[in-house]
Amino acid sequence: MSDPSSTTIVSPDYSKSFFGHPRGLATLFMTEFFERFTYYGMRALLVLFLVAATDAANPGFGIDRETAGAVYGLYTGAVYLGSLPGGWIADRLIGQRSAVLWGGVIIALGNFILAIPASPPVFYFGLAVIVVGVGLLKPNISAIVGALYEGQSGARRDAGFSIFYMGINLGAFIAPLIAGTLGEAWNWRIGFFFAGIAMLIGVAQYKFTEKYLGHAGLAPQNLTAEERSRSWRVVWIASAIVIALGALLFAGVIPVSIQALAKGFGTAMVALAVAFFGHVLIFADLTTEERKRVAVIAVFFLAAAVFWAGFEQAATTFNLFTQDFTNRSLFGGWFPDGMHPASWYQSANPIFIILFAPFFAWTWVALGRRNLDPSAPAKFGLGLILLGVGFIIMMFAAQLVASSGSKVAPTWMLMTYLLHTFGELCLSPVGLSNVTRLAPQRYVGQMMGTWFLGAAVGNLIAGLLGGHIGSSEVGEMPGQFLQMALIGGGGGVLLLLLARPLANWMGGAR
């Protein structure tokens, strides 16, 4: 744990700045860059490694695609859900700064476990370790960014977060090109190991430049010894329960398949969301106006879950389609099998975000000046429609493969990723912004938790759907992609039809 007394505290100094912002932003920018490099590098390889044959030149586990999709869904769902206890531990016990440090160390450890040439249970244990690390680091590093701008203007704070967001996408862009290439083209374990090394580099630079964070993210000082002791007891009891349950599952004492476990996990998360929103809407002491706003957040939660269920098939369905049915001969002469890695296409979304996020921001501002800025529900609807159109593109690509028996050009995948990225830019930033504005003040933290919960549900569903579609015959895929297009696009049209009454329920927040 970081000891504040041993660290020289330096207040934010704009004379030595990072693009005109506090020097500490550079510390957090690079930490997030390496954390996202680690996450997206491993994510690009995960499903491909799990389904790779055990007797291949670069052997994997050789498991069926439905099981691989369930593993991916469990892992990514748990990562997002882990942000809730991770934020609580930082707020109640160790502070955001120590949470980021130890989260990074744990993430690196988890990736090194993945690199061990051992049995599947050891590998799955490594994934569980990474979940703990990301849960500690991910929500708290954003909280520290906000703390750097305490007392600053909203515009300066927004600009700081925009720079920080670039670190996320730069890491996500570069990771598949480096870790993905090492793992897919030569040895999967090397790819996982390199991801761990990247996180250690991020942790080292974080520790060496931590002093520039000033007082941001230090451990809370307003808790009594009794409150702190009680909080630690909760952590240890909850950890013991989770470890014991995991041990029983790994040992086979509780006989359950990975698919059944994933479905049960998803059902539990949906039930949690229904119970939470039901409690707040019915039993909380809210005004009529507040209840309407919470109802809008519930609609956003559902829309986000549907969106991420489609969008996050990038690492399952689309990854497998790229591997099996996409012509990857360009630059193929550099690689043993004559094809460039399928994992490279996981870089498409972050580079599209880097290129087009400024355009979308400018568009919303320009429309706002003319009083034409779409409401948040309308933007959500547009995001879901773009998701559906992306699946229409995949439907035509699958039809072409089925009818010709040959592989399709990479442009089909790139066009799908471009449309889905446009959908993300319509939905994700808008959701984050409006949840904080719509939530009753005493429920802001919990309502933000529902946003992460929606992402967790969506990621889990994406894994289950991706495993099912990826294991299908190519002749079945056009119909499956059409179903996804109808679900996403239909949900978007419904939101557009409801945009006006939902905007009225939002009151002054758009």
Residues 81-129 have pLDDT tens digits of: 888 888 888 877 888 888 899 999 999 999 999 999 988 889 999 999 9
Full domain range(s) for residue 219:
10-506
5 within domain boundaries:
no
- 18: β partners: 21
Mean pLDDT of 171-179: 92
Domains held by the chain: number: 1
273 within domain boundaries:
yes
Q: How confident is the model at residue 20 (pLDDT cuts 50, 70, 90)?
A: confident
Tokens 């790139």: give the residue. Answer: 414
Q: Are 250 and 121 in contact (CB under 8 A)?
A: yes
Mean pLDDT of 254-278: 86
Mean pLDDT of 377-401: 95
pLDDT of residue 140: 85
For residue 7, pLDDT over 80 is answered with: no
For residue 9, pLDDT over 50 is answered with: no
Q: Which of 258-267, 317-326, 344-353, 481-490 has the lowest mean pLDDT?
A: 258-267
pLDDT of residue 144: 84
Distance, CA of 445 to CA of 454 (rounded, Å): 15
pLDDT of residue 15: 46
For residue 355, pLDDT over 50 is answered with: yes
Instruction: Characterize 105-137 residue by residue with b for buried, 16 or more Cβ atoms within 10 angstroms of its Cβ, and e for exposed.
Output: bbbbbbbbbbbeeeeeeebbbbbbbbbbbbbbb
Which one is predicted more confidently, 111 or 1? 111
- 21: β partners: 18
Q: Are 110 and 297 in contact (CB under 8 A)?
A: no
pLDDT of residue 8: 44
Residue 326 phi/psi, 5-degree rounding, is -110, 135
2 within domain boundaries:
no
Mean pLDDT of 254-265: 83
CATH for 356: 1.20.1250.20
126 within domain boundaries:
yes
Distance, CA of 308 to CA of 415 (rounded, Å): 18
Cα angle at 351 between 349 and 355, to 5 degrees?
115
121 within domain boundaries:
yes
Tokens 């994997």: give the residue. Answer: 60
| Contact partners, residue 369, CB within 8 Å, separation at least 6 | none
Residue 6 is encoded by which pair of tokens? 């041993």
Neighbours of 99 (CB within 10 A): 29
3 within domain boundaries:
no
Distance, CA of 172 to CA of 108 (rounded, Å): 16
- Look at residue 21 and give its three-state secondary structure: strand
pLDDT of residue 51: 92
Residue 90: in which H helix or E strand, if any? Answer: none
HSE-CB at 169 with a 13 A cutoff on CA atoms is 18
- 408: β partners: 326
For residue 10, pLDDT over 70 is answered with: no
For residue 152, pLDDT over 70 is answered with: no
1 within domain boundaries:
no
344 within domain boundaries:
yes
Burial of 283 (0-12, 13-18, 19+ CB in 10 A): exposed
Report H helices in 95-187. Answer: 95-114, 120-148, 154-175, 181
